[in-house]
Chains A and B, each alone.
Chain A
């Protein structure tokens, strides 16, 4: 049995009017089942095609197809209308105060010394340096002698050293990360490109600008044909990464037993010269102590205080904030802010 064209038209009309009459998205869901679902008159009309003779099948098929397509389009259009209606009305009613604090999100953070160390390590990794670390309780020979700081030399007393008992053990809390440089040179053949971050110790009273426990980062390069210009270029690159591309550096002659020539490096920041650290060409006596051929290789080294770098860059005015483990200080830097 098949439908007449007029019967089909009635079905379509009924469907269209139901679609038009649907007032919200839930109503139109019902309309869809009723008029476009498996048991709807239109579906039945489609199913009836199967029983038609072949010559009518094609022709009536087209008519049913057109009817379905008309209802479908009307349905989709009405859904869009109703969705827009919902967006305008219903979602408005569901509006919340999105400025409310997000619950259960805690405030943890990295200490800025960690953030800075990571930043510096990444910078130098990019220049092909390795990150070398070593023990904080260190052999006197590695901390002093090998760096051309002999016992009873005034330079040895320049650094107020912490010694551990018994003194015969010849162990000190390292006064700089330079013993890591010595270890690196004893353990590796040049070329050597390393950066040595770490904790260091000098018996200074804690005050606004000093702390007996502080952090350094040192760099060491040993290669063929290394010059003082290489040192200067590396320091410029480093300073610009730390303090911005406009920053200027200057070297001032100085003295360190382990470098010759030696210099202090300053940078010009916020309208003044700031002392940053020491540097120089590695003293041949140091290379010799590590068995490096000074005819073939030369090198440079530099070292900076991380606390000082932080203080200048972030306007920290009191060292106590850095060392007192107050979580408000850590949290103000979050997970990596600079």
Chain B
């Protein structure tokens, strides 16, 4: 909220020498962040005077309208200036900057030749003076509000400090001069004169003379006041001191009646609504819209009402969307002379719902949603009609009210709780002073039993910690010492977290750069990559950042591939990247979320339905290699990165998780149908790896034969602790064997046959050569087998026998012939 210090000072005696830093620190100390501090008029030097327009000569032949204006600046002669604005007529009072003046932006005013005339000064707009953003035309001051020759800097109260304080949602009362003046006074230890106490509402008698009011739904509001006046002078204009304050608070001056309601709202925090009294049929009722379907609001829109909307109605139907926006039919216009003024303490949730339903957020709804001091309905309406009588010459007719203010309940409070909760000694005296300072009343039963009555405007004070915060704000958070609690022993990463860390370290150490992509995807792109079925069932965002990417990713590769393209676009020739992250698939019908409160822990069944209503989100690790994984070097070219390496990385990731696996060929998008491996653990697919589909490569403009892998980390079972067996130290015997097999036989099958045939003493087996130029659809596979016994050196005969047994098995299972 923007607050002019000149207004604040009406209620707090802030010493004149208080620095801006002190003011800022004072607000920050009690919990108000300062968005900005504007020093108005700091870069403005006079002479700036009120002048009257005496004559206007329109200069023609220019691209835009140009006027040559004669001004009476109170100098006894006419001063002529050039002006590009047209929103004024002869006799208007305007603001003139005379030669020697300096306007914001170091704009020096001097007599100068322009448009073939001498301009001896300048007629100013509000923006040129740095007092508002208004630049539609120059400032025209209503007749009677200024004298010719008067100092405009003083008249327009230009010199001021405007502080923009951020107000948190629990402190609705601080969306007012009253609230922030109170906070500032408490923070600086200064006396505070409450503007609400300066109003005497009882002067305005409650009677049957004005518009009467009733509350139909007491849930929606606790109290409403309607005060009626008549004889409001339609010619009366808003005095400059009022319009300037409204403008400094960031609102616009509109008309006297409306300005008064806004002024009182800014001052006290209570939104008010003025109805044209003559348009109200008999009396008002505060009720839900019910079967009434439409209301034309004063912005001219036909609003479709929800049955639940709170309206102010008369017997003809709804007149206003209560607390949110007035209706067109009862709008106060330039001819309105009789006004019924409404001020009410609405239920914040009711207003919030209406405001959101109709997408109408206003200065009024912002305050009402946060809760307004219930005593203000009576006080602020009185304050406003007081001003209408004083400034608009109105005559008081009468007042009516319904309901009564509902105040927060008293709290039972042990003041010693403050020290216990803050972890530092705070004396009972300090606790008392702090609470009194924010407006609490204290009744002491004993040193550990106080009854606290929170002030009217602090509906947020309902629990002991709320009071602790008030004390802490007052004594300063700096008072709280530093102590370090230590948690449970035996804390460790869980198996999944260890695994994730191991895998990211492995990939990064082996040439992959880790990235994080946004999980938003385009469904067409997903389809173009070949994602179908369950892997294309994406959740759609109701409010995506852009219509181009409305879906949540179902897989990491689409995002990674785009990242590769982006990197290549930025000049990279080789890109090896990986990502670890969650994916989202809308494949399971989810339990519906229960609607429950938070007064107590949900039942186990409810917790289960909350959990079951959230989809399982698998964690994947995926990598893409476009080009080579390392650059060519001075000593030779780097190896190509092929489908085989991609599968190797996927295998290694599975191995890091401690799982054993099998590999089968697969046909899976977006991979090459003949160059994709599926890796299975316990018979279930957990990974895919290989070369990307040529169509995908062409579509994205990637280097030929780019490769990718994906492992579903969360699908890898957690294995039990590794049991180590004793290492064998007897000599090893090595046997090589070359087999000719049909090229269609998978190498894993051949290896498995050799393993089985070779027997228990086979320690390891390694494919060390593959020759595919035999013709006839045959290949030669050469394996090196290492045998070792626990208790003896194996003899040559023994080892040959193992080799032959292995060959026999390979022949039987794979038709492999030993190559001689």
Interface residues of A (CB under 8 A from B): 100-111, 113-114, 118, 121, 125, 127-131, 133, 135-142, 145-146, 148, 150, 152-155, 157-158, 162-165, 167-171, 173, 186, 191, 193, 199, 203, 205, 212-213, 221, 223, 225-230, 232-234, 236-237, 250-255, 257, 260-264, 281, 283-286, 288-291, 298, 323-328, 330-331, 335
Determine if B301 is an interface residue (Cβ-Cβ < 8 Å).
Answer: no
State A104–B472 Cα separation when bound (angstroms): 61
Minimal beta-carbon separation of A285 from chain B (angstroms): 6
Bitwise, B342-370 to A at CB < 8 A (1) or not (0) is 00000011001100100000000010011
Given A165-B540, A230-B483, A251-B480: A203 and B633 interface contact (C-beta under 8 Å)? no
State A101–B511 Cα separation when bound (angstroms): 16
Once the chains bind, are A193 and B472 in contact (CB under 8 Å)?
Answer: no
- What chain A residues lie within 8 Å of B473 (beta carbons)? 253, 261
- What chain A residues lie within 8 Å of B29 (beta carbons)? 252-253
Once the chains bind, are B481 and A229 in contact (CB under 8 Å)?
Answer: yes
Once the chains bind, are A103 and B493 in contact (CB under 8 Å)?
Answer: no
State A255–B166 Cα separation when bound (angstroms): 11
Determine if B241 is an interface residue (Cβ-Cβ < 8 Å).
Answer: no
Determine if B86 is an interface residue (Cβ-Cβ < 8 Å).
Answer: no
Determine if B468 is an interface residue (Cβ-Cβ < 8 Å).
Answer: yes
Determine if B28 is an interface residue (Cβ-Cβ < 8 Å).
Answer: yes
Once the chains bind, are A163 and B491 in contact (CB under 8 Å)?
Answer: no
- What chain A residues lie within 8 Å of B601 (beta carbons)? 186, 288-291
- What chain B residues lie within 8 Å of A107 (beta carbons)? 511, 513, 630
Residue of B nearest to A128 (CB): B487
- What chain B residues lie within 8 Å of A146 (beta carbons)? 598
Once the chains bind, are B582 and A104 in contact (CB under 8 Å)?
Answer: no
Interchain Cβ contacts under 8 Å between A and B, 7 examples: A128-B488, A137-B584, A162-B544, A234-B485, A237-B484, A325-B517, A327-B576
- Tell me what chain B mostly uses at the interface: helix, strand, loop, or mixed: loop
- What chain B residues lie within 8 Å of A135 (beta carbons)? 582, 614-615, 617
State A147–B469 Cα separation when bound (angstroms): 18
Once the chains bind, are A227 and B566 in contact (CB under 8 Å)?
Answer: no
Once the chains bind, are B491 and A128 in contact (CB under 8 Å)?
Answer: yes
- What chain B residues lie within 8 Å of A165 (beta carbons)? 539-542
Minimal beta-carbon separation of B100 from chain A (angstroms): 40
Determine if B743 is an interface residue (Cβ-Cβ < 8 Å).
Answer: no
State A188–B171 Cα separation when bound (angstroms): 34
Once the chains bind, are B576 and A171 in contact (CB under 8 Å)?
Answer: no
Minimal beta-carbon separation of A277 from chain B (angstroms): 14
Determine if B439 is an interface residue (Cβ-Cβ < 8 Å).
Answer: no
Interface stretch of the complex, out of B260-268, B589-597, B761-769: B589-597
State A225–B613 Cα separation when bound (angstroms): 35
Once the chains bind, are A232 and B481 in contact (CB under 8 Å)?
Answer: yes
Interface size class of B (residues with CB under 8 A): 35 or more
Once the chains bind, are B352 and A228 in contact (CB under 8 Å)?
Answer: no
Which residues 493-514 in B have Cβ within 8 Å of A in the complex?
493-494, 497, 501, 504-505, 507-514
- What chain A residues lie within 8 Å of B596 (beta carbons)? 141, 145
State A140–B613 Cα separation when bound (angstroms): 10
State A331–B601 Cα separation when bound (angstroms): 47
- What chain A residues lie within 8 Å of B469 (beta carbons)? 253, 260-262
- What chain A residues lie within 8 Å of B552 (beta carbons)? 137, 164, 173
Once the chains bind, are B168 and A254 in contact (CB under 8 Å)?
Answer: yes
Minimal beta-carbon separation of A121 from chain B (angstroms): 7
- What chain A residues lie within 8 Å of B639 (beta carbons)? 104
Minimal beta-carbon separation of A198 from chain B (angstroms): 9
Once the chains bind, are A236 and B352 in contact (CB under 8 Å)?
Answer: no
State A153–B352 Cα separation when bound (angstroms): 7
Minimal beta-carbon separation of A1 from chain B (angstroms): 43
State A134–B758 Cα separation when bound (angstroms): 48
Residue of B nearest to A160 (CB): B543
Once the chains bind, are B423 and A229 in contact (CB under 8 Å)?
Answer: yes
Once the chains bind, are A136 and B480 in contact (CB under 8 Å)?
Answer: no
Once the chains bind, are B421 and A103 in contact (CB under 8 Å)?
Answer: no
Once the chains bind, are B630 and A169 in contact (CB under 8 Å)?
Answer: no
Determine if B62 is an interface residue (Cβ-Cβ < 8 Å).
Answer: no
Interface stretch of the complex, out of B53-61, B216-224, B270-278, B567-575: B567-575
Once the chains bind, are B169 and A153 in contact (CB under 8 Å)?
Answer: yes
Once the chains bind, are A250 and B572 in contact (CB under 8 Å)?
Answer: no
- What chain A residues lie within 8 Å of B424 (beta carbons)? 227, 229
- What chain A residues lie within 8 Å of B581 (beta carbons)? 199
Residue of B nearest to A201 (CB): B519
Once the chains bind, are A170 and B613 in contact (CB under 8 Å)?
Answer: yes
- What chain B residues lie within 8 Å of A168 (beta carbons)? 592
- What chain A residues lie within 8 Å of B497 (beta carbons)? 121, 131, 133
Q: Which of B516, B518, B540, B614 contacts A113 (CB 8 A)?
A: B516
- What chain B residues lie within 8 Å of A108 (beta carbons)? 507-514, 576
Q: A103-B636, A153-B349, A255-B31 are in contact. List 8 more A-B contacts (CB 8 A).
A: A137-B539, A164-B540, A213-B518, A232-B482, A253-B477, A260-B465, A288-B599, A325-B567
Given A109-B508, A127-B486: A137 and B516 interface contact (C-beta under 8 Å)? no
Bitwise, B620-649 to A at CB < 8 A (1) or not (0) is 000000000111011110110000000000
Residue of B nearest to A229 (CB): B423
Given A138-B614, A288-B599: A263 and B477 interface contact (C-beta under 8 Å)? yes
State A155–B343 Cα separation when bound (angstroms): 25
State A133–B713 Cα separation when bound (angstroms): 15
